[in-house]
Amino acid sequence: MIDRPKLTLERTFKASIEDVWELWTTKEGIESWWGPEGFSVVVRKLDLRPCGDLVYAMSAEGPEQIDYMVQAGMPLLTQHTLTFTDVDPPRRLAYRDMADFIPGVEPYEVDTVIELNEVEDGVHMVLTVDAMHDERWTRLAVMGRESELRRLEEVLAARTREN
Q: Average pLDDT, whole number, for the chain?
A: 90
pLDDT per residue as tens digits for the range 88-121: 999 999 999 988 777 777 887 889 999 999 999 8
Before 90, cis peptide (omega within 30)?
yes
Q: How many whole angstroms separate alpha carbon 1 and alpha carbon 3? A: 6
Task: Report CA Rg, the chain.
Answer: 16
Q: According to DSSP H, which parts of 53-108 are helical?
A: 63-71
Whether 70 and 94 have beta carbons less than 8 Å apart is answered as no
Please give the average per-residue pLDDT across 49-72, as a whole number. Answer: 87
Q: How many whole angstroms separate alpha carbon 13 and alpha carbon 24? A: 13
